[in-house]
């Protein structure tokens, strides 16, 4: 044990310079090591890509950016560097309201038609063999096979990202991945390198506080929002541009796990979300999302108290409402996991005519990076010929040869312009993709960041203050847990300085949980604003009361009453819920001689896998189960996770009486069936302070 805790922060001894956008540059001293390219060329700025002007597009000539991201894209063979653990399904997109006023893209103008798509959900940090339920951002990528070419909406379940410029993406991922000298922790952010990086990069604070919220622990993929993150453009027939952000809103509503549940589920069923998606589709309970857009003009954007080209900023729905214009339904599981889920290749550059890009510097870098990644991961520029990636509309080009070439062009010419083969395709001014002719500011080319990117704390403050009291407790507890895993004292101190800029109460709660004193607030590059709160960013506050998509665990044993089981099953199924049978053995004989097969043995079916629990057992079986730790944990965990519990007389007499379970309004006897069904649609969060310590 150390006698003295050293809070000295070596970063304070490094000379720093603050750029236009408030980002901090660490500069080496004359004696220190200088960062270079692979060719030994010294790098002057490792935070910002080269742009034509302060808010202009990123330039292709930026060899530092291209070298850095190219090397990063090629770090894994063949597994994805990020988003490696994924699950996916086929489905369709249907437009319900035309956006013809804003775009020429047929997928957004022709209503009523069902267009096939493939959607992949993923975690970010873990490898392909990791678990489904870590605290992590979730990927939410949709490939729509439109008649004008594939459209890939490559987003996440959070509306913002950690960094503002693609130049910093390799650094962020290296920081959150297992530490290179030891190879752990896997699929976890609770370690020194991640918190060292984010505490030195204030722009990460907004996505970081989302990561500490319940949004990082989705109950299922079908209960997860999706966001395109960046600002895009819609271009209409007159060539007019309207800015747009894309949203997927689950019909089942946003619902999440608690941290304790997520930890226990990862041991009981590391495939929890993947299994849930597969089973829901197999059972005909098709996950569905509303597709919405936030539309705004250049003039409206100029009035925002933030820069819409900054990927660390969301546009509050109270400021620009989300307009629902379509829906997505997932109705078919992949035929082969590798051929489809693993080989699907998403690229942000895949857009049909009528949709265009903004100058968001993170988006600009991703437009290069995603294609480069696929070339390495799938081994060939012909990855588009893999069936899951191939367009379903006619397509033709003059590309030839290459590894795994499957097409056999029957022509003499594969170039353009040409006159030898009139049947060959050629460009089309009328139908072709056209970039918006944006007038760029007269600026100076350089590694710069817009002044509007400098505010790193106002939106995290808005997010935290928008949460319910329960959600705020979860966020504070998550920070305390994660920072409690950080062994370097000055990193913890540095983070508390950032939290003070977000919310003083939050900082105090975390500091108290860590047993630390609060430091001075971190230096803010721009004034911190008190923005209006937004209910739309809550989780618990906007979760609907419903049994749809929820699973009720029913504990039975030898001699359990078949009629009682059937009564509960019918009531739950009628409300759209699913019942899974849990028993001490795989097969059970009921009171009327009926033999049933349990979905889970009690030893492998803990209550963390269910949204509510019912116990229907006879006295002799209850006596036996009262001596089994798995049975006691089954009820204890359900109670600790604020779930509804319905119990029979034998359960009450022999099991519940031995446990510290208070019979509140969510713990009811079997006779109160209607109350249980209603309770099972949500959780009793008021119970939580009684069952666990929260920061």
pLDDT tens digits for range 237-285: 999 999 999 999 999 999 999 999 999 999 999 999 999 999 999 999 9
Compute the residue count for the chain. 695
**What is the Cβ-side half-sphere exposure of residue 556, based on CA atoms within 13 angstroms?**
29
Domain-located, residue 47: no
- CATH number for the domain that contains residue 563: 3.40.50.880
Report the alpha-carbon distance of residue 116 to residue 332 in Å, rounded.
11
In a domain, 212, yes or no: yes
Question: Which contiguous run of DSSP H or E holds residue 326?
Answer: strand 323-332
Name, in order, each residue with C-beta under 8 angstroms of 67's C-beta and a sequence gap of 6 or more: 37, 38
Residue 467 makes CB contacts below 8 A (sequence gap 6+) with 213, 475, 537, 538, 539, 541
The last residue of one of the domains, among 334, 355, 385, is 385
So what's the pLDDT on residue 39?
75
Average pLDDT over residues 34-39: 77
CB 44 within 8 A of CB 470: no
Cβ neighbours around 291 below 10 Å, total:
25
**Helix boundaries (H) for 529-598:** 562-574
User: Do residues 100 and 241 touch, judged by C-beta distance below 8 A?
Assistant: no
- Alpha helices (H) in 229-270, listed in sequence order: 259-268
Boundary of a domain, candidates 385, 420, 438: 385
pLDDT, residue 663, reads: 96
Structural domain includes residue 465: no
Range of the domain at 642: 545-691
Please state the rounded mean pLDDT for residues 351-373. 94
CATH number of the domain enclosing 134: 2.40.180.10
The confidence score (pLDDT) of residue 156 equals: 98
The number of domains in the chain is 2
The predicted-structure confidence for 558-607, as pLDDT tens digits, reads as follows 999 999 999 999 999 999 999 999 999 999 999 999 999 999 999 999 99
pLDDT tens-digit series, residues 316-337: 999 999 999 999 999 999 999 9
Q: How far apart (Å, rounded) are the C-alpha atoms in residues 693 and 513?
A: 10
Would you say 513 and 480 are in contact if contact means Cβ atoms under 8 Å apart?
yes
- Pick the catalytic residue from 48, 150, 156, 389: 156
Q: Is residue 292 part of a domain?
A: yes
- The reply to whether 480 falls in a domain is no
Active site residue 636: no
Task: Summarize pLDDT for 162-184 with one digit per residue, the tens.
Answer: 999 999 999 999 999 999 999 99
pLDDT at 375: 87
Q: Decide if pLDDT at 3 tops 90.
A: no
CB contact at 8 A, 221 and 146: no
Where would I find the H helices in 161-313?
Answer: 169-176, 192-199, 205-211, 259-268, 272-282, 298-302
**Greatest pairwise CA separation for the chain in angstroms:** 90
pLDDT range class, residue 19, cuts 50, 70, 90: low
DSSP string, 89-110: EEEEEEESS--TTT---GGGT-
- Residue 33: the pLDDT is 81
Ordered alpha helix ranges (H), 539-672: 562-574, 619-625, 629-640, 649-654
293: enclosing H helix or E strand: strand 288-296
Report pLDDT digits (tens) over 609-632.
999 999 999 999 999 999 999 999
Q: How is residue 438 written in tokens?
A: 């944006």
DSSP-based helix, strand, coil % in the chain, nearest 5: 35, 20, 50
Residue 14 has a pLDDT of: 61
Categorize the per-residue pLDDT at 26 as very low, low, confident or very high, splitting at 50, 70 and 90: low
**Last residue of some domain: 342, 364, 385?**
385
The answer to the question of residue 24 being in a domain is: no
In the chain, the N- to C-terminal Cα span, in Å, equals: 25
In terms of Cα–Cα distance, which of 252, 238, 201 is closest to 548? 252
Share of the chain above pLDDT 90, in %: 78
Is 156 considered catalytic here? yes
pLDDT of 418 reads: 86
Cα angle 354, 356, 358 (rounded to 5 degrees) comes to: 150
Dump pLDDT digits (tens) for 272-305: 999 999 999 999 999 999 999 999 999 999 999 9
Q: Could you give the CA distance from residue 146 to residue 144 in angstroms, rounded to a whole number?
A: 6
What pLDDT score was predicted for residue 202?
Answer: 98
Residue with tokens 């504070």, as numbered in its chain: 476
Is 169 among the domain residues? Answer: yes
Is 90 exceeded by the pLDDT of residue 44? no
| 152 pLDDT more than 80 | yes
The whole-number pLDDT of residue 240 equals 96
Catalytic residue among 83, 230, 247, 308: 83
| Residue from 82, 550, 120 nearest 334 by CA | 120
**Whole-angstrom Cα distance, residue 253 to residue 245?**
20
Q: Are strands 644-647 and 612-616 parallel, antiparallel or unpaired?
A: parallel
**Residue 99 lies inside a defined structural domain of this protein:** yes
Query: Rounded CA gap, 587 and 595, in Å?
Result: 7
Cα(291)–Cα(327) distance, rounded to whole angstroms? 5
Percentage of the chain beyond pLDDT 70 is 97
The mean pLDDT of the chain is 93
Determine the Cα angle at 314 with ends 312 and 315, to 5°: 145
Report the C-alpha gap between 206 and 466 in whole angstroms: 13
- Per-residue pLDDT band for 349 (boundaries 50, 70, 90) equals very high
């Amino acid at each position: 044990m150390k006698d003295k805790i050293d809070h000295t922060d070596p970063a304070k001894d490094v000379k720093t310079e603050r750029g236009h956008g408030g980002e901090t540059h660490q500069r080496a001293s004359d004696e220190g090591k200088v960062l270079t390219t692979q060719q030994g060329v010294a790098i002057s700025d490792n935070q910002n890509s080269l742009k034509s002007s302060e808010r202009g597009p990123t330039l292709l000539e930026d060899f530092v950016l291209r070298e850095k991201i190219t090397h990063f894209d090629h770090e894994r063979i063949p597994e994805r560097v990020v988003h490696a653990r994924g699950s996916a399904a086929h489905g369709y997109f249907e437009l319900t309201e035309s956006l013809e006023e804003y775009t020429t893209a047929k997928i957004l103008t022709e209503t009523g038609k069902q267009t096939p798509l493939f959607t992949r959900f993923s975690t970010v940090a873990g490898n392909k063999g990791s678990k489904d339920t870590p605290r992590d951002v979730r990927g939410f990528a949709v490939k729509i096979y439109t008649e004008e070419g594939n459209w890939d909406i490559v987003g996440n379940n959070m509306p913002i990202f950690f960094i503002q410029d693609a130049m910093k993406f390799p650094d962020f991922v290296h920081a959150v991945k297992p530490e290179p000298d030891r190879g752990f922790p896997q699929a976890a952010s609770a370690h020194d390198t991640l918190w060292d990086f984010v505490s030195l990069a204030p722009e990460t604070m907004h996505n970081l506080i989302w990561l500490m919220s319940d949004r990082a622990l989705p109950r299922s993929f079908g209960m997860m929002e999706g966001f395109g993150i960046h600002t895009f453009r819609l271009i209409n027939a007159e060539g007019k541009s309207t800015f747009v952000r894309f949203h997927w809103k689950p019909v089942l509503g946003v619902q999440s796990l608690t941290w304790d549940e997520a930890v226990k589920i990862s041991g009981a069923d590391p495939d929890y979300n993947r299994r849930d998606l597969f089973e829901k589709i197999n059972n005909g309970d098709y996950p569905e999302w509303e597709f919405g857009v936030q539309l705004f003009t250049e003039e409206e954007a100029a009035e925002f108290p933030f820069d819409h080209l900054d990927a660390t900023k969301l546009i509050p729905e109270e400021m620009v409402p989300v307009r629902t214009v379509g829906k997505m339904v997932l109705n078919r599981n992949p035929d082969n996991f590798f051929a489809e889920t693993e080989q699907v290749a998403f690229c942000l550059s895949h857009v049909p005519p009528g949709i265009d890009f903004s100058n968001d510097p993170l988006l600009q870098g991703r437009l290069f990076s995603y294609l480069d990644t696929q070339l390495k991961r799938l081994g060939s520029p012909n990855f588009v010929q893999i069936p899951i990636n191939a367009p379903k509309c006619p397509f033709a080009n003059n590309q030839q040869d290459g590894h795994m070439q499957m097409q056999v062009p029957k022509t003499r010419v594969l170039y353009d312009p040409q006159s030898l083969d009139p049947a060959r395709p050629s460009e089309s001014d009328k139908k072709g993709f056209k970039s918006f002719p944006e007038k760029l500011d007269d600026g100076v080319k350089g590694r710069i960041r817009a002044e509007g990117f400098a505010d790193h704390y106002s939106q995290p403050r808005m997010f935290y203050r928008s949460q319910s009291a329960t959600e705020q407790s979860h966020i504070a507890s998550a920070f305390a847990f994660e920072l409690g895993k950080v062994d370097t004292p000055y990193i913890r101190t540095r983070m508390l300085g950032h939290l003070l800029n977000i919310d003083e109460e939050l900082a105090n709660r975390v500091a108290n949980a860590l047993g630390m004193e609060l430091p001075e607030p971190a230096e803010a590059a721009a004034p911190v604003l008190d923005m209006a709160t937004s209910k739309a960013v809550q989780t618990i506050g906007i979760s609907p009361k419903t049994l749809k998509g929820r699973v009720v665990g029913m504990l039975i044993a030898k001699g359990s009453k078949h009629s009682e089981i059937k009564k509960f099953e019918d009531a739950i199924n009628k409300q759209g819920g699913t019942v899974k049978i849990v028993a001490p053995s795989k097969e059970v004989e009921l009171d009327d001689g009926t033999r049933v097969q349990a979905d889970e043995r009690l030893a492998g079916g803990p209550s963390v896998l269910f949204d509510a629990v019912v116990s229907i057992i006879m006295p002799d079986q209850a006596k036996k189960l009262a001596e089994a730790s798995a049975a006691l944990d089954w009820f204890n965990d359900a109670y600790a996770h604020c779930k509804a519990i319905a119990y029979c007389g034998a359960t009450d007499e022999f099991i519940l009486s031995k446990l510290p379970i208070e019979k509140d309004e969510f713990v009811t006897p079997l006779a109160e069936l209607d109350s249980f069904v209603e309770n099972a649609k949500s959780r009793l969060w008021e119970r939580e302070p009684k069952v666990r310590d929260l920061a």
